[in-house]
């Protein structure tokens, strides 16, 4: 497994990371719990070292499951989790609002350590910026937690350039996690230059466009009402029909290499910067192996130029989230 350093912090992880959010939140949803635990261990066996969860996934049930999965391989993995929501530490009931007050962060971290059954959180993210709490207070609280040995590295998720700079001035931010892919390229304008300037690594989530860039979804695909994508404007039938042009473009590139669209999409991100580690999710071993195959795909300069020209000619249709969630992904 290829390794990458996330910025200048010294944190080195596998070149691809596994996001565990899709393995169920509410304990009642994890009907295949044993299979998902095994999948996490299978990923580690294949060299994946960075695993991502959050207290909000459930809340709590996902962290508990990830903790059980990594117990026998703790010394081989880097565990990332996230605070930042108004979740009752005892009941797990969430108000659905952000909350990064220092006392809430401390309560959240104590709960994370117990649920994950670890002594230290390797990478501790703020899940979303809290407009009511200064970034200096958030970074200062995390600095104290790192000093206490409860965490090792500080990360932000979906933060804007101003928030990143303010937090980093108080305590070094090691990693930013935000959505980035061939159909979500907004970070290129302002975020990536700031990360490069400050020596911060980037862990983009949804690098496969929530499955769309795999080529397995088209206008005729039925999305169940329980599937979150059914509520995303970008997955509306008319948007899917227009956005398929992007998939067909990367499919053509992949055919020259005997690679799938998913592998091309991941290889494209890997080629952007050496300090980027895409974070993908899957519930199936064969998809895990397919995605890891992207590490063997070396896109040529001509391939990359074709993708750049082709994607520039395609206007992606639909917002990446419903309106209410777009407000929460603010900066």
* Tokens linked to 210: 């929530």
Question: Helix axis angle, 301-312 relative to 261-270, nearest 10°?
Answer: 100
Q: Catalytic site residue 23? A: no
How far apart CA 12 and CA 9 sit, in angstroms, is 9
| C-beta of residue 316 within 8 angstroms of C-beta of residue 325 | no
Quote the strand ranges of the chain, DSSP E.
3-5, 12-14, 17-19, 50-52, 78-83, 85-87, 94-98, 121-126, 151-157, 175-177, 201-202, 279-280
Edge-to-edge order in the sheet of strand 17-19: 201-202, 175-177, 151-157, 121-126, 78-83, 50-52, 17-19, 279-280
Residue 171: closest CA among 144, 192, 196, 132 = 144
Q: Which of 57, 153, 171, 180 is catalytic?
A: 57
Chain centre to alpha carbon of residue 273: 17
* Tokens linked to 14: 């596998």
How far apart CA 102 and CA 10 sit, in angstroms, is 26
State phi, psi for 179 to the nearest 5 degrees: -75, 135
* Tokens linked to 127: 């899940």
How far apart CA 19 and CA 231 sit, in angstroms, is 21
Count other Cβ atoms within 10 Å, centred on residue 137: 16
How far apart CA 164 and CA 175 sit, in angstroms, is 10
Query: What is the β-pairing status of strands 279-280 and 17-19?
Result: parallel
Residues annotated catalytic, as ranges: 57
């Amino acid at each position: 497994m290829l390794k990458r350093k996330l910025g200048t912090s010294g944190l080195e992880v596998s070149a691809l990371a596994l996001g565990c959010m899709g393995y169920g939140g509410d304990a009642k949803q994890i009907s295949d719990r044993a299979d998902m635990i095994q999948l996490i261990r299978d990923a580690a066996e294949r060299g994946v070292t960075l695993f991502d969860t959050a207290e909000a996934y459930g809340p709590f049930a996902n962290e508990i499951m990830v903790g059980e999965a990594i117990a026998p391989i703790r010394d081989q993995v880097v565990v990332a989790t996230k605070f930042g929501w108004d979740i009752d530490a005892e009941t797990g009931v969430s108000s659905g609002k952000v909350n990064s007050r220092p006392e809430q962060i401390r309560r959240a971290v104590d709960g994370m350590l117990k649920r994950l059954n670890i002594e230290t959180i390797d990478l501790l993210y703020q899940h979303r910026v809290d407009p009511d709490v200064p970034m200096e207070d958030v970074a200062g609280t995390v600095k104290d937690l790192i000093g206490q040995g409860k965490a090792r590295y500080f990360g932000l998720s979906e933060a804007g350039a101003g928030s990143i700079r303010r937090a980093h001035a108080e305590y070094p931010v090691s990693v930013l996690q935000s959505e980035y892919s061939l159909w979500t390229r907004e970070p290129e304008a302002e975020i990536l230059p700031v990360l490069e300037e400050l020596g911060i690594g980037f862990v983009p989530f949804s690098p496969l466009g929530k499955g769309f860039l795999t080529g397995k979804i088209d206008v005729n695909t039925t999305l169940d009402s329980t599937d979150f994508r059914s509520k995303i404007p970008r997955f509306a039938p008319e948007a899917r029909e227009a956005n398929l042009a992007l998939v067909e473009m990367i499919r053509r590139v992949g055919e020259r290499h005997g690679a799938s669209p998913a592998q091309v999409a991941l290889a494209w991100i890997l080629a952007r910067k050496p300090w980027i580690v895409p974070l993908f999710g899957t519930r199936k071993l064969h998809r895990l192996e397919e995605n890891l195959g992207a590490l063997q795909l070396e896109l040529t300069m001509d391939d990359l130029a074709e993708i750049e020209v082709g994607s520039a000619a395609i206007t992606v249709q639909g917002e990446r989230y419903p309106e209410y969630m777009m407000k929460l992904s603010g900066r």
